Amino acid sequence: MSNVTTADLVLASLGGITFLGMFTMIGIYLYWGYTRMDEMLGYVKNCQMITGNRFYLHMGAWGRMMMVGVVAGYLACPGFFIRRGLLDADEINSFPQPLKRRLIISHWIMGGLLVSLGLEYIAMTIIRS
């Protein structure tokens, strides 16, 4: 008899979907990193937090993917950094809305996938114990 339960199969399927989503988002971030990076950075030239992370651009494909994530993260939650003078409010507000919306949505999707993966891990450890 097999020790695999229905709960194991369901969680494995959900984990597979989560990993598929993560790899899809990695592909999207890599694509944006190579096709839209100059455009993204052109809109936020005076933002201290973003220019301070430009060293990621010299780290190849992973660095470009990281830089897209940095820009998306700062666009998703700019208030904290604007109050401290690390981001320029005018540049954040003048960022083109279609690209800004895509970056913010992708940021929250990646966060949701990470939370989903953590919950699946916790559920699997509870089922196994």
Residue type, 85: G
The pLDDT of residue 52: 86
The pLDDT of residue 34: 94
The pLDDT of residue 36: 93
The pLDDT of residue 61: 92
Could you state, in chain order, the average pLDDT of each consecutive group of 10 residues for the chain (129 residues)?
Answer: 79 93 95 93 86 88 92 91 88 92 96 95 88
The pLDDT of residue 3: 80
The pLDDT of residue 86: 86
User: Can you point out the beta strands (E) in 11-93?
Assistant: none
The pLDDT of residue 9: 87
Please report, for residues 28, 48, 51, 96, the alpha-carbon distance to residue 83 in angstroms, rounded to integers and kept in the order given: 31, 13, 17, 22
Residue 84 DSSP one-character state: T
pTM exceeds 0.85 for this model: yes
Find how far residue 113's CA is from the centre of its chain: 9
The pLDDT of residue 49: 85
The pLDDT of residue 50: 85
